[in-house]
Amino acid sequence: TSSSTTLSWASASTRSADRVGVALRRTPGLLETRIDRVVVVAAVVVTTVSPV
């Protein structure tokens, strides 16, 4: 029984670790996309304001 409980705990820990890893991998991507959007918006604002 101890081996089965250890296997179940190991599988659960690996699943949680995978979830955390995926979250950490997605977070920088989301930050990058947000920064890109901000840069695009800033560029549009600068181009629209500069002629005036």
Q: Please tell me the distance from the alpha carbon of residue 50 to that of residue 44, in angstroms, as a whole number.
A: 10
Q: Determine if the pTM surpasses 0.95.
A: no
If pLDDT is split at 50, 70 and 90, which confidence band does 52 have? low
> Burial letters for 27-46: b for 16+ Cβ neighbours within 10 Å, e otherwise?
eeeeeeeeeeeeeeeeeeee
Q: Which domain holds residue 46?
A: 1-52
| Percent of the chain residues past pLDDT 70, beyond the cut | 94
The most distant pair of C-alpha atoms in the chain lies apart, rounded to whole Å, by 77
Which bin fits 6, alpha (ψ -120 to 50), beta or left (φ > 0)? Answer: alpha
Number of domains in the chain: 1
pLDDT at 36: 85
